[in-house]
Structure 1
Amino acid sequence: MNQSLFQYLLRMGDTTLVLSQRLSECCGHGPALEEDLALTNVSLDLLGQARLWLTLAGEVENQGRDEDQLAYLRDAPDYRNYLLVEHPNGHYGDTIARQFFFDVWHYFLLQALCASSDERVAAIAEKSFKEVTYHVRRSSDLMVRLGDGTPESHAKMQASVQTLWPYVGELFADDEITSDLAGRKVIVSHATLWPDWLAQVGQVLNEATLVLPDPDDANHPAFRGGTVGRHTEALGFVLAQMQHLQRTYPGASW
């Protein structure tokens, strides 16, 4: 088994799955019907992407586990998602700021993965990239509308940006797994995505009349650990809800 590839596929699958689950919590609670539908559609897009990554992870592992078993029968310490996506939804501004930071990173990452030396990874990236192109356009637009909106919406968005900023550094942290795969051109070094991400985020925040936090504040080690199974308590609540049926009735199908 290619352990590095397996672990990276879990990162991608778990990250999109957990964020999908977070966004699904917003269904029926959006500030407007159109936005309610849009958030739910993004959630479904991410769920579909999670299935692709986890299905491939199961194939690479070759231990008989499919995407459902990987999703529903692992505990929080076995999940490899980035901490940003398990952060609670909070108010609407928090949800949008989290989505914006993730979308811009996701866009540049998938764009690079389309050229992966592994045809399976490239195929998933190409399919997902089309969806994420819409995601990043949508969340960027909402950042501007809320940041450059009323005094209240501006203040809330600035607070959301400040609160979530320390979590973004983990998205660009390389380790033995990413270094190994980057050396074989399966992926790119995550650190190489930082300049483009920062430039794009800075441009949108400027248009939104929001202040870009100090880049150094995004690199605090206390806000890392998700990729090795060190999570916040928030993930446990997400998984408890998501896994309830399968844990209560093992093997249930319909």
Structure 2
Amino acid sequence: MTFNDPRITYVLRQSDTPLILAQRLCAWCGHAPELEIDLALANIGLDLLGQARHFLGYAAELAGPQYGEDRLAFGRDEREFHNLLLAEQPNGGFNDTLVRQFLLDAYHVQLHQALSSSRDPQLAAIAAKSLKEADYHLRFSRGWVIRLGDGNAVSHQKIQQALDNLWRFTAELFHADDLELELAEQGIAADPRQLEAPWRALVNDTLHRATLTLPAEQAFRHGGKQGRHSEHLGPLLAEMQFLQRAYPNSNW
């Protein structure tokens, strides 16, 4: 699916990251290390799914009556998804999931704060609602990063290892392309470059409290927003989209 209106592509970028992240988090249901964490991850996943549905619904409204949120979620192929690469990385252990969540939660707080002032009233409304949930998500993930980073030697080592492995995907969060810059100039989109400084301040403070070491800057991976993904997205979509692809347009 290709769209001429850059707003549709931009809104899909905002829908796809929480949609893919929700799929990842809900895979922990019944497998998390504690019941409290199991419930928390499932609830965060459902919050993210709700955010994705709001953005998908708006994208469908912009795209026309032949589209709906189900078609946009289950009918697009891998190269038509615009999520950030960080969101599609495997769950791994709880340390990997936790660090991935924290890095994205810190980003989403900044993103939704900026989009709450968008000249597009629908985008602004969705972002304002999502911000309340993102604040809670950040409190959860940040608290656990500090607790485990400043815990015993084993927990510290595991969190540091996850941080080192995932850090190369963080620069994409602030990599702006022409589409985003054009819409930012119109006051519709958030300029991702302006989100980096507050994000780094929050991350640096958290890592200091957690006695973790900021990873060295390295060559970063990007392209997810443009549809160029890692090897991990295809299997995730195959699982997520199976029922709708096998029984299209079914009512449950």
Shorter-chain TM range is over 0.9
Partner of 2:229: 231
Distance 2:111 2:226 in 1: 20
Partner of 2:165: 163
Q: Is the 8 A contact 1:2 1:60 kept in 2?
A: no
Q: Is the partner of 1:188 in helix, strand or coil?
A: coil
Q: 1:31 aligns with which of 30, 33, 58?
A: 33
Partner of 1:11: 13
Distance 1:251 1:137 in 2: 39
Distance 2:4 2:228 in 1: 23
TM-aligned CA deviation for residue 63 of structure 1? 5.2
5+ residue gaps, structure 1? none
Q: 2:242 aligns with which of 221, 241, 244?
A: 244
Distance 1:158 1:3 in 2: 42
Q: 1:46 aligns with which of 45, 48, 56?
A: 48
Q: How does 1:199-214 map to 2 (within 5 A)?
A: 199-214=201-216
Show CA shifts across 1:77-103 (max 9, x none).
111101000000000000000000000
Q: Is the partner of 2:7 in helix, strand or coil?
A: helix
Letter of the 1:98 counterpart: R
Distance 1:171 1:60 in 2: 25
TM-aligned CA deviation for residue 61 of structure 1? 1.5
TM-aligned CA deviation for residue 152 of structure 1? 0.6
Q: How does 1:114-153 map to 2 (within 5 A)?
A: 114-153=116-155
Distance 2:67 2:50 in 1: 18
Distance 2:133 2:169 in 1: 24
TM-score, length-normalised on structure 2?
0.97
Distance 2:196 2:128 in 1: 21
Which stretches of structure 1, 4 residues or longer, exceed 4 Å deviation after superposition? none
Letter of the 1:194 counterpart: E
Q: Is the 8 A contact 1:2 1:61 kept in 2?
A: no
Partner of 1:69: 71
In the alignment of these two chains, the number of paired residues is 250
Distance 1:61 1:251 in 2: 18
Letter of the 2:142 counterpart: S
Show CA shifts across 1:157-178 (max 9, x none).
0010000000011110101111
TM-aligned CA deviation for residue 188 of structure 1? 2.3
Q: Is the partner of 1:233 in helix, strand or coil?
A: coil
Distance 1:121 1:113 in 2: 7
**Percent of residue pairs identical:** 46
Distance 1:86 1:12 in 2: 14
TM-aligned CA deviation for residue 36 of structure 1? 0.4
Distance 1:38 1:233 in 2: 28
Show CA shifts across 1:173-192 (max 9, x none).
10111101110111221011
Letter of the 1:8 counterpart: Y
Letter of the 1:16 counterpart: P
TM-aligned CA deviation for residue 245 of structure 1? 0.5
Distance 1:188 1:22 in 2: 25
Q: Is the 8 A contact 1:110 1:125 kept in 2?
A: yes
Q: Is the 8 A contact 1:19 1:46 kept in 2?
A: yes
TM-aligned CA deviation for residue 76 of structure 1? 0.6
Q: Is the partner of 1:40 in helix, strand or coil?
A: helix
TM-score, length-normalised on structure 1?
0.96
Q: 2:104 aligns with which of 102, 105, 128?
A: 102
